[in-house]
Amino acid sequence: MAKKDYRKTMKLPRYAGTYHGVHKWYEHVFEKLGWMVLADAKGFHGKVSEYKKSINRLIKTIEHIKSEYENQNQVHDLNVLLMNTKVLKQHVEKDF
């Protein structure tokens, strides 16, 4: 059996995403906040740390894909998602 050459694997931009995917991720991050409060109370600090990283990745992904859209309604929606996610990040950094 021949070895697979992994150097030929296609490279993707780190923060590539879709409009629909970002919306679903955004909803998930906000819904998960309550679970992170419980995880922190139970001492599962690793879960909280990964949650914080997910929020940061979401922010970077929104910023990345925002520049790819020309439709002003979509850009506006992404700006609102970005602002709300930054508020969530501030709250999470303050409380955890």
Residue 74: inside a domain: yes
- What would the pLDDT profile of 53-84 be if each residue is shown by its tens digit? 999 999 999 999 999 999 999 999 999 999 99
Range of the domain at 29: 16-95
**Per the domain annotation, does 57 fall within a domain?**
yes
The model's pTM: 0.88
Domain presence at residue 43: yes
> Does residue 2 sit within a domain?
no
78 within some domain: yes
Question: ∠ at Cα 86 (85, 89), nearest 5°?
Answer: 90
Total domains in the chain come to 1
Spell out the residues 6+ positions from residue 25 whose beta carbon is closer than 8 angstroms to its own: 17, 58, 61
pLDDT tens for 23-59 read 999 999 999 999 999 999 999 999 999 999 999 999 9
Structure confidence by residue, pLDDT tens digits, 5-18: 666 788 889 999 99
